[in-house]
Amino acid sequence: MLRLVVLRLLESYFRHPWLYLLPTIGMIGLASYFVLNLDKEYQAEGVLYVQNESYLASLTNVRASDVSWYLTAAQITSNEINELLRTDSFVRAIINETDLEEKMTKGESAVNETIQETRDSVWVFSTGANQVSIGASHEDPKIAYQLINALIDVYMRWQVNGEQAENETANSFFVDVIDLYNSELAAAREDMVQYVETHPQPLRGDRPETEQMEIVRLQAAVDLAASRVASALDKEENTRLAMAQIESDTRQRYILIDAPQIPIQPEVSLKRIALQAGAFVGVGVFLTLAAICGAAILDRSFRFPIDAKNRLELPVLSTLPDTAPYYRWYQFRKRRAARAQEKEPPQPNLIESEIVPAGTAVGSTGA
Amino acid sequence: MQMKFWKRKTREPVSPPLILSKKNGVPVYNFPIEVVDNLRYTITRIERNASLPLRLAIVSALREEGVTYLTQALAATVAHDMPLSVCVVDLNWWWPSTTILVGQDNPGLAGVFTGEATLEEIIVPTGLPNLALAPAGQLPIERRPVIARSQVLVQIMEQLSKEFDHLILDVPAVRATTDSVPLASLSDACCLVIRQGVTTAEDVRLALDEIDHLSILGVILNQVRLKTPRAILKLIPTD
């Protein structure tokens, strides 16, 4: 069955090859036209070096290690930026730092268009284990340059803010807790002082055992409250230190190796060329394939012996070739012989010229 | 001496076409060797399973599928290759094969029914001594269904069967007239002609439904013209 399908598709194509290729050729022509008339844009590029872990982080353990064993640091970063670029808030933050901001005040549709335009203008991909290439293209060279800088800045800020937020939460928690613990410590000390004042040391001998036990209990409560305060203070200091270190750590982890420059000459993006041309050619090929398949499906006639075998379940005794070309050739020879005969004196035994092709007879009977 | 840089390929000798001529030797038909070879293959295939039927009808689903041409070519091939007497019986009064083998004054089988001529008188001999032709003639349209189902025609067929070893019947298209079924029923077996790229599967199936009571030897795919390059067809067999 598969053989039959393949044969029918091939026959369908070869019956009118140029007709079927017409959509593809047409689309290639259109693709060439569009590619040649593509608006030239200015491209700016920069390279960011990404470290798995900064020296500061390794010393202070300020940041939990999120390094994957199967993705490089550059891949993680490029994936993260590409994911962020899908969010409107991230793109809006980029736009805020560029001259595109003016467009954002021109209504809902202009905002959406600007966001989409920005999203399409920027690309990020990893170029090695630690290098991330960031590019932007725009009709205005200044905006292309601004877009890259803004992207890097917004991403770094996002990184810092993301980790700062955790520390800020922890810090405010510990500040609240310290106040509570201090009041508990003060209360424990007050209890102790009051007890000692109400139960002074006897003039002779030791305190009674019950007093001694009570004093020990109160002292333990004071010690416990003091240790809790000390621990909370220690943690609060740690969070404050971490907050101070995070920005420095982020700056160390992401180093801009190739700073973007304001582009001087306009270029046509290869990505855009590939996308435009690919889309046109793809549509052309699809139309060609659809036409071939459609013609093969609509053709209900028999084309191959295997057709008759499969559909009728009857043996195919023979396949007789089309004799029309043979008879056309025969008629040509006959006419040529007749012309030659007109020029030369008649020859008595020219039997072949008298032969009537059977095809002519068949055509005349219509059977 | 001028040096030849290339040598022209000499063509292999090709068998001459099968020429069917009048009794006086004037050639009338020539069947290309490709057609004749394929018909020889058909005959071999039929004889491999059983002997060639005494009365073989060539039928088709629709008109203009080449039944008349195929009937004459098959008869000429059998007569040329075998020491058997063969007669082409034209039962197609709807579109009779007015070939130059048959004279204008020959009333054909229609004349036998009307009593205008005898069977012996209408039989047309050909250049091949063992091949003859029984033309259809002009039969009035209202008489055709009657004659197609008449005993007279059965008797004529029996008479012809006595005179010839094989009768090859040229029957009108099954989907063109309802009379083709009784006409095809006069045969022992039939071959279905399908014109490649023209006749649809539905037409052929409907035709087969009408003649399913007959012994169908197989299908002959006619006027085959494949556009797929031979190099590709060599990789994907078509049968």
For residue B151, what is the domain's CATH number? Answer: 3.40.50.300
Q: Give the model's pLDDT for residue A367.
A: 37
Residue in chain B lying closest to A309 (CA): B239
Residue in chain B lying closest to A315 (CA): B218
Q: Give the model's pLDDT for residue A220.
A: 94
> CB–CB of A323 and B223 under 8 A?
yes
Q: How far apart are CA A255 and CA A236, in angstroms?
A: 30
> CB–CB of A317 and B216 under 8 A?
no
Closest in A299, A300, A322 to B224, CB measured: A322
How far CA A149 is from CA of A49, A51, A93, A98, A261, in Å, comes to 15, 19, 12, 9, 10
Closest in A311, A315, A321 to B224, CB measured: A321
CATH number for the segment(s) A2-165+255-283:
3.30.1890.10
- How much is the pTM? 0.60
- In a mutagenesis test of the B interface, which of A318, A326, A354 is the best target, namely the one with the most B β-carbons within 10 Å? A318
Asked if residue A121 has pLDDT above 80, the reply is yes
For range B139-153, the mean pLDDT: 88
User: What confidence tier does A53 reach under pLDDT thresholds 50, 70, 90?
Assistant: low
Q: Give the model's pLDDT for residue A267.
A: 77
Q: How far apart are CA A77 and CA A159, in angstroms?
A: 11
**What mean pLDDT, rounded, does chain A reach?**
84
Domain contains B144: yes
Closest in B30, B42, B170 to A318, CB measured: B42
Give A123's DSSP letter: E
- In a mutagenesis test of the B interface, which of A9, A317, A329 is the best target, namely the one with the most B β-carbons within 10 Å? A317
Please answer whether residues A246 and A168 qualify as being in contact, where contact means their C-beta atoms are separated by less than 8 angstroms: no
Closest in A14, A305, A355 to B30, CB measured: A355
What residues of B are in contact with residue A367 (Cβ under 8 Å)?
63-64, 66-69, 92, 95, 97, 170, 172
| pLDDT tens-digit map of A210-254 | 888 999 999 999 999 999 999 999 998 988 888 878 878 787 888
Pairing of strands A122-126, A131-138: antiparallel
Domain contains B153: yes
Query: What number of other Cβ atoms are within 10 A of residue A259's Cβ?
Result: 12
Report the candidate in A102, A5, A96 with the shortest Cα–Cα distance to residue A299: A5
For range B165-175, the mean pLDDT: 92
H-only helix segments in chain B: 33-49, 67-81, 108-114, 119-122, 144-148, 151-163, 180-184, 201-210, 230-235
Calculate ∠ Cα A101-A103-A106, nearest 5°.
Answer: 130
Calculate ∠ Cα B46-B48-B52, nearest 5°.
Answer: 40
> CB–CB of B219 and A317 under 8 A?
yes
Asked if residue A360 has pLDDT above 70, the reply is no
For range A174-189, the mean pLDDT: 91
Could you give the number of structural domains in chain B?
A: 1
| Highest-confidence segment of A240-244, A293-297, B229-233 | A293-297
3-state secondary structure of B135: coil
For range A142-161, the mean pLDDT: 90
Closest in A3, A317, A365 to B236, CB measured: A3
Is the model more confident about B55 or about A352? B55
> CB–CB of B29 and A304 under 8 A?
no
Q: Is B102 left (phi over 0), alpha (psi -120 to 50) or beta?
A: beta
> CB–CB of A358 and B73 under 8 A?
yes
- Joined together, the tokens standing for residue B40 give 């020889």
Q: Give the model's pLDDT for residue A242.
A: 82
- Joined together, the tokens standing for residue B27 give 């050639």
Q: Give the model's pLDDT for residue A67.
A: 54
Is the model more confident about B88 or about A355? B88
Adjacent-strand bridge partners of A317: none
Domain contains B7: no
* B3-42 per-residue burial string, b: 16 or more CB within 10 A, e: under 16: eeeeeeeeeeeeeebbbbbeeeeebbbbbbebbbbbbbeb
- Joined together, the tokens standing for residue A70 give 């199967």
Asked if residue A357 has pLDDT above 60, the reply is no
Domain that holds residue B190: 27-95+104-235
User: What confidence tier does A265 reach under pLDDT thresholds 50, 70, 90?
Assistant: confident
Domain contains B1: no
What residues of B are in contact with residue A7 (Cβ under 8 Å)?
228, 236, 238
What element of type H or E holds B29?
Answer: strand B27-31
Closest in A7, A312, A319 to B224, CB measured: A319
Asked if residue B53 has pLDDT above 50, the reply is yes
For range A57-83, the mean pLDDT: 72
Question: Can you give the residue ranges of every domain in chain A?
Answer: 2-165+255-283, 175-249
What element of type H or E holds B59?
Answer: strand B55-60
Is the model more confident about A362 or about A115? A115
* B105-118 per-residue burial string, b: 16 or more CB within 10 A, e: under 16: ebbbbbbbbeeebe
> CB–CB of A316 and B221 under 8 A?
yes
Pairing of strands B166-170, A42-50: unpaired
Q: Please list, in sequence order, all residues whose beta carbon lies within 8 angstroms of the beta carbon of residue A264, skipping any fewer than 6 positions away.
A: A141
**What mean pLDDT, rounded, does chain B reach?**
86
Domain contains B76: yes
Alpha-carbon gap: B57 to the closest alpha carbon of chain A (Å):
14
Domain contains B3: no
Q: Give the model's pLDDT for residue B171.
A: 92
> CB–CB of A367 and B192 under 8 A?
no
Q: Provide the number of CB pairs (under 8 Å) joining chain A to chain B.
A: 175
Domain contains B5: no
C-alpha of A219 from chain center: 64
